[in-house]
Structure 1
Amino acid sequence: MKAIVVGAGIAGLVTARQLGLAGWDVALLEKSDGPRPDGYMMDFFGPGVDAAERIGLYPRLAAAAYRPDAVEYVDTRGRRTCSLDYGQFSRLAGGNVLSLLRPDMERAALAALADVPAGRVRIRYGARLAGAWNDDDGGVRAAVVGPTGEVLTGDVLVGADGIHSEVRARIFGPERDYLHPLGMRAAAFIAEDPKLASRFRNRFVLTDSIGRMAGIYSLRTDQVAAFLVYRDAGSTDSGPLATSARERLRNEFDGLGSTVDRLLELCPEYPYDDVVAQTIMPVWHRGATVLVGDAGGAVSLLAGQGGSLAIAGGALLGDLLGPASSPDGVSAALGVFEERWRPQVEAAQKAGRRAARSFLPANRVQRLARRWVIRATHLPGVDRLVARQILGQTVK
């Protein structure tokens, strides 16, 4: 059996690995020229942890993880206004929370392909999709951009190519039908600054600001990871904006203090920059084509479970498809995948929409309310309430 997987991000790599282990031949197509270096810090918990342990990926993730002591909110002078104890949050989430940079998660999933017999999974970086089709005989085709106009054939086509999925657009319809922006944009980049790296070691620091938020975390070297989110009227759709990302960020985050000013000086010309959105679809598979990860069920970065769901969804899809040996087997596996996986994605999306309503305070009253809630997290009952808002599930 042959699979074509489009997108060598976390979900695509995990899906390809599981199919390769099951004996499939997998063509993994990625439009980027190599593994992507950009991305933000993510909390890894929930279903992804169980899936990573089951498929043997967890040790690689744990080796790459950071372990912050606290999440701190600071004012424009850098003074702490409130903080969350990270150990307490981890305990409420089951005691198994990892803080990971998105690029590190991708590298761990990429390294795990070494477990697959040689030749089963072939990655092609710099391969852009030119077309995709479901055939009448139950197979699929995918055309790759290039002078030869190469067309690949397979038994299943997996769209794991993110919220702006090309597979989704070609098989299911235009992006505007499925992408639901949450009224914000987010940016992230990594920069080198020994002084900042030393100052913020083992702390994830966020600005206690209105309508925008900048975050910083020190990495193992002299680098820092920056994360910026802001309300934006232009984020009612996912189209390109008139100004460059660096210019827009410098305008939006001016006045948040010397640390943020320094981050803006370090901002590269082309940081990660995109709309904060969810992908909501009535169905994730059509013919022998299926969507996984953000392509079919993006929860948004505010839900805090994107990486977790990418691993769990990719592992489930790969394991269900693995035994299939015919078009009927593929069809049955895709139906079971959607039936089993949709409830978890929809629960996480619901949590993401709740988080969106309070993530960026719109005024001083909302900001003060957030401070009170965070300061009260040491109280029994309140800690569970806050954790439930973050996790999207009942906690013990």
Structure 2
Amino acid sequence: MKAIVVGAGIAGLVTARQLGLAGWEVDLVEKSDGPRRDGYMMDFFGPGVEASERIGLYPRLARVAYRVDGVEYLDARERVRARLDYDRFARLAGGKVLSLLRPDLERAALGALEDVPHGRVRLHYGNRVTGVSMQDDGVRVAVDGPAARLPAADVVVGADGIHSEVRARVFGPETDYLRPLGMRAAAFIVREAELNARFRNRFVLTDSLDRTAGLYGLRTDKVAAFLVYRDPPAGAGRDTSAPRDRLRNEFSGLHPAVDRLLDLCPADPYDDVVAQIVLPHWWKGRAVLVGDACGAVSLLAGQGGSLAIAGAALLGDTLGRVTSADGIAPALTEFEQAWQPVGAQAQASGRRAASSFLPANRTQRLLRRWVIRATALPGIDRLVARQVLRSIAK
């Protein structure tokens, strides 16, 4: 059996690995020239932990995880207004909470391809999908790049993110499925030794209204920045300038450390809409979607990496049992029926998280401070942890 997996991010790499281990031949196609270098810090817990342990990926993730002592909300004078203790939360979650930089998570999944017998997974960077053609006996994917003409496959897997080209080619235009949550998020990594030393082992967020900037000191002298801000509807005062200029317009003056990061911001940082993808079905013919391509929960939900690994592991293992074309449709149906309810539940949690992430006024900000402070109280901490974990549990 042969598969073409489009997208060499977290979901695509895990899907390709599991199919390769099952004996499939896989062509893994990625439009970027190589692994992504920039990204944001994420919490990894929930279904992804169980899945990564089952498929043998967890030790690789644990090796690249960061230690986070706590999350602190600072005002403009650098006074701590609220604080979450990570050790306490990790204990309540069973000790299985990892803080991972997204590029490190991707590189760990990339390294895990070494477990697949040589030649079963062929990785093609720098290839953009230009067409998907489904036929009775298989599927062809046309690309613009050095891979030239890919061989026909039994299945194509769209693991190419929230702006999936496979989804657009097979299921229809993005506007039919994209559900913006009224915000944009940006992320970049810069070299800044002083800020790195000041904020090492702490994830610091500004205690601000309508916009939030976060930063974390990495193992070297670099700092990872994460910025979230309101995104008005088109024609309603939306800033359409270049990403770096837009971030400087939005965040200048918020905090001295943020101003320093903006000075160092690269010309073309990651900057995208905070949104979810909602589809009635995740497969059609010989095509199936996985990860953010079919069930993006939004960056603010804190579950994307975990769900990407768990969903991809399930898809890879379910498809991996197929030995003939007759088994493809039943396998894809099994995957959708098992995982779509999990995605829907996570999206509901993500919408709740997004609604409270950017306080619009002082009252909402004060309420957030009270809720965070309450998590330090015995009994209340367990209640909050149970609610968070239940929201992403199978």
When normalised by structure 2's length, the TM-score is: 0.96
Deviations 1:302-339 (A, max 9, x none): 11110001111111100011121112211111010011
Q: Is the 8 A contact 1:130 1:143 kept in 2?
A: yes
Deviations 1:66-94 (A, max 9, x none): 01111000001111111001112212322
Q: Is the 8 A contact 1:355 1:390 kept in 2?
A: no
**2:152 alignment partner, SS class:** strand
Q: Is the 8 A contact 1:197 1:217 kept in 2?
A: yes
Paired residues for 1:1-396 under 5 Å: 1-137=1-137, 139-146=138-145, 150-234=149-233, 242-388=240-386, 390-393=388-391
- Return the letter of the residue paired with 2:364: Q
Alpha-carbon distance in structure 2 between the residues aligned to 1:316 and 1:147: 31
1:388 Cα shift? 4.8
Deviations 1:183-240 (A, max 9, x none): 0000000011110000001100000000000001010000010000011104799xx9
Alpha-carbon distance in structure 1 between the residues aligned to 2:146 and 2:226: 39
Alpha-carbon distance in structure 2 between the residues aligned to 1:226 and 1:377: 25
Q: Is the 8 A contact 1:235 1:275 kept in 2?
A: no
1:392 Cα shift? 4.9
1:95 Cα shift? 1.8
- Return the letter of the residue paired with 2:273: V
Instruction: State the superposition RMSD in angstroms.
Output: 1.8
Q: Is the 8 A contact 2:47 2:392 kept in 1?
A: no
1:135 Cα shift? 1.0
Give the direction of change, closer, same or farther, for the CA distance of 1:236–1:333 in structure 2 (3 Å limit).
farther
When normalised by structure 1's length, the TM-score is: 0.96
- Return the letter of the residue paired with 2:52: A
1:385 Cα shift? 4.2
Alpha-carbon distance in structure 2 between the residues aligned to 1:92 and 1:334: 35
Unmatched segments (≥5 aa) in structure 2: none
- Return the letter of the residue paired with 1:96: K
**1:197 alignment partner, SS class:** helix
Unmatched segments (≥5 aa) in structure 1: none
1:386 Cα shift? 3.3
Alpha-carbon distance in structure 1 between the residues aligned to 2:275 and 2:230: 12
Same amino acid, percent of matched pairs: 70
Alpha-carbon distance in structure 2 between the residues aligned to 1:147 and 1:201: 41
1:381 Cα shift? 4.0
